[in-house]
Amino acid sequence: MTGHPCPLCGACAAETVFDRRNVPAHQNVVCETAEDARRFARADLVLAFCEKCGFVFNQKFDSGKLNYSAVYDNSQAHSAFFQRYLRDLCDYLRVKYGLRGKRLVEVGCGKGDFLRLMCAGGMNRGLGFDPSYVGPETGEEGAIHFVKAFYGESRCDRAVDFLYSRHVLEHIQDPAKMLRSMRKALGDDANSVIYIEVPDLAWILDQAAFWDFFYEHCSYFCAGTLRRACQAAGFEVERTFPGFGGQYLCLEARCAPGCHARAKPDPGELGELRARIGHFRKSVEERMQTSRERVMALRERGPCALWGAAAKGTTFANVIDPEARYIRCLIDINPSKRGKFIAGSGHRIIAPEDISACESEIRGIFSMNSNYFEEQRAKLAQLSLNIPLIPL
């Protein structure tokens, strides 16, 4: 038990879920040299579970440790599988909400890929906010404007029909404030809609996916917690549903008129979450140990690699092989990561095309995300590489 108040509901009863000290502050920033990577800023990840509302948050989070500058790169746009996911999501949202000739706002648009998709062919007008955005300030012949800064409703000086935010809320220390600010930007038009997408806490807990808990993410939601947080901010939640093979939690809501009472959690739902946390606590050490043993067993035959040098791969490598002694390298299809080093452990990142240069050495590759497994296997086949690809 700790006395640190819950950022979502203010309650003081929070219990530790997962405790990892001195982890790299960023997972989606790569370094020029192994030395830079090992000197990368570190911080503590101490996740606590709020008994009152079900929110899970990093009690030791200090936003000053993070820097979402242009070098921050969490783009998955190089994957055909991910592109398909974005296209399907775009089609779904456009059809369901009749998004044609509408004014869209994306909070945390990254490099702008999804906003361009939503506004393609002059279909809609878009405004995207992200301090890590790189590129021209306008796109789609002036239909899109990018603001290289954090979102704030004061920056949003035009009427908005549809506001969405994908994988942002988990980076925010005070998500309630962020949701209120989104609500304010939408005004009182009951036709205005929001779409929110975050990692699903329930999925992480069920899988004991320790590589999905990292410093950049200070806030974790299950469906009930996210629904109540949106209701408290003045939204009427239409539905929550799983996305991306269950890894994501998605929410659609409309603006609710009037004042907003904080909805109480269902005791059954909180009990279910508590049971999931109990399962995670019991199984996570074993999961780490098994992962270590699998890496070591593979290494008996020769060096191994991880496929995926984003947050999951970086976290996994830092937990399992913090001194970069057993995992030879990380493979990633993002060309801007090629030849760079992951923060913390300093493992080198190579492109798939570089594998053949060390084919005689690499005896096995662990795939960091089951969603990309087939795509990775196809790439190995295309490169005529006969190296076993192993799911985690």
| In the complex, minimum distance from the CB of residue 50 to Zn ion, in angstroms, rounded to a whole number | 3
CA distances from 110 to 17, 114, 144, 210 (A): 30, 9, 14, 25
| In the complex, minimum distance from the CB of residue 106 to Zn ion, in angstroms, rounded to a whole number | 28
* Residues in touch with Zn ion (CB under 5 A): 6, 8-9, 11, 50, 52-53, 55
Residue 71 near residue 52 (C-beta atoms within 8 A): no
Of 212, 219, 177, nearest to 48 by C-alpha is 219
Measured from the CB atom, is 233 or 343 closer to Zn ion? 233
| In the complex, minimum distance from the CB of residue 51 to Zn ion, in angstroms, rounded to a whole number | 8
Q: What's the chain's length in residues? A: 392
Measured from the CB atom, is 265 or 352 closer to Zn ion? 265
| In the complex, minimum distance from the CB of residue 161 to Zn ion, in angstroms, rounded to a whole number | 32
| In the complex, minimum distance from the CB of residue 326 to Zn ion, in angstroms, rounded to a whole number | 39
CA distances from 275 to 50, 54, 247, 278, 360 (A): 14, 12, 19, 5, 46
User: At 346, which amino acid appears?
Assistant: G
Residue 110 near residue 83 (C-beta atoms within 8 A): no
CA atoms within 13 A on the CB side of 94: 17
Measured from the CB atom, is 53 or 156 closer to Zn ion? 53
Residue 105 near residue 127 (C-beta atoms within 8 A): yes
| In the complex, minimum distance from the CB of residue 273 to Zn ion, in angstroms, rounded to a whole number | 12
- Residue 147 has φ and ψ, to the nearest 5°, of -115, 120
Measured from the CB atom, is 239 or 264 closer to Zn ion? 264
Helix (H, G, I), strand (E, B) or coil at 58: strand
Measured from the CB atom, is 47 or 331 closer to Zn ion? 47
Measured from the CB atom, is 7 or 352 closer to Zn ion? 7
Measured from the CB atom, is 1 or 360 closer to Zn ion? 1
C-alpha to C-alpha distance for 368 and 305, rounded to whole angstroms: 10
| In the complex, minimum distance from the CB of residue 53 to Zn ion, in angstroms, rounded to a whole number | 3
